[in-house]
Each structure stands twice: as structure tokens, then as C-alpha cells.
Amino acid sequence: MAEQAQVHPLGLRHHFNNLDQQLEAGTMGMWVFLVTEIMFFGALFCSYAIYRSVYPEAWALGSHLNSSTLGAAMTVVLLMSSLTMALGVRSAALGNQRVVILMLSLTIVLGLAFMGMKGFEYYHHFEDKLVPGYDFSGYHGAHAGPVQMFISFYFIMTAIHATHMVVGVGLLSVMIWMTSRGRFNRQYYAPLEITGLYWHFVDIIWIFLFPMLYLVDLHK
């Protein structure tokens, strides 16, 4: 009972009976939010699939305008960030606050590295005049119209994904602050778990985007 008296003021809200119930409610809330995100990205993926079936040659040509090597590097970085995020949550369960802060900081660094590489790729698309609706004069090959449509999907999808990454970095920053203030212990670290769910979801979205935007027809 003495232990519970110390834990409850730390994280238990008055409308929950216990910390387990609070965690279940928070986790369910995050999953409901992620379902709406899946519906949102699902609409984009379906639109992409429809146009790809109509313009397969243009989709293959457009894919070669993106660097598969850079895309693979970004994928590795995000997979590493998922690992550090998982290690951070695990460290919270073990009560090792210093390791939690270290792992979350590494996750942020990896997330920023990903966004830096994506910004580098955007920069080269602007330099090469491959920006639909702004300046697409850098492409002179076949199927110019559909290829421009493919690059439009590329910018829309990656920009939305990058926005989610920015939100994730902000959430992780808050988690680091809360950890440094002693808000979590072995019994209560629900916000870390829920933030981890969000971060893993964003990483999974990229796992789909990578082959869709970079590996459409790699052998050509």
C-alpha cells in the first residue's frame, strides 16, 4: 500500500481506478487515432495504386528520379530509431531513467537525420527542376504528364510523413523532459509506451512508402 501511495500521485488520474486501467484507456485512444491515420494514408495508397495500374511505364520512369540508395539509407535510419524507441520503453520498465533519456535522445537524433536526408533529396529535386506545379522542366523523357503525377504523389506522401515525424520529435522531447523531472517509474510510464506506438506507426508507414516511391522498377 505504501508503494501504491507513492505511485498514484505520479500518474493516476482521478477518473481511473488504477494505473492498468489508465494505460489501457490511453493505449486504446492512441490505437483509435492510428486507425484514423491508417484510413487517411489508405486513401492515398489506393489512389497511388489506381494510377500506377493505369500508367505503369510512367511510374517506373518516375521511380528512377528518386535515389534508391538514399531511400534505403533513410529506411535503415528509421529502423534504428524504432530500436532505440523500444529500448527506451524497456529501460523505463526497468526503472533506468538515464538510459531512457539516452535512448529517446538517440531516437530524436535519428529522426532528425532522416528529415535531413529527406530535405537533401528535396533540395536536389528543386535543383534538377523536378517539382510538379512549380518547375518540372528538368524531365524530358517519355510520359512527362504521368511522370509528373508520380512525383506529385512522392511529394505529397513524403511531406505528410515528414510532418508526422516532426510531431513525433516534439512528443519525444516532451517525454525526455518528463523523464528528467521524475514523472515515470517502473509502475508508471504509460505516456512513453503510447508515444512509442505513434513512433513505430510512422516508421511502418515509411516501410510502405520506400518500395512504392523508390523501388517501382529497380531492375531497369
Average pLDDT of the residues in 109-136: 94
Tens of pLDDT, residue by residue over 57-98, are 999 999 999 999 999 999 999 999 999 999 999 999 898 999
Tens of pLDDT, residue by residue over 138-172, are 888 889 999 999 999 999 999 999 999 999 999 99
| C-alpha–C-alpha distance, residues 213 and 160, integer Å | 14
Tens of pLDDT, residue by residue over 203-213, are 999 999 999 99
Predicted confidence at residue 29, as pLDDT, reads: 65
Average pLDDT of the residues in 183-200: 86
Tens of pLDDT, residue by residue over 1-58, are 344 434 444 555 555 455 555 556 556 666 777 788 888 888 999 999 999 999 999 9
| C-alpha–C-alpha distance, residues 102 and 181, integer Å | 15
Residue % of the chain over a pLDDT of 70? 85
pTM attached to this predicted model: 0.84
| C-alpha–C-alpha distance, residues 97 and 105, integer Å | 12
Topology of the domain covering 18-214: Four Helix Bundle (Hemerythrin (Met), subunit A) (1.20.120)
Q: Structural domain boundaries of the chain?
A: 18-214
- Could you tell me the pLDDT band of residue 193, with boundaries at 50, 70 and 90? confident
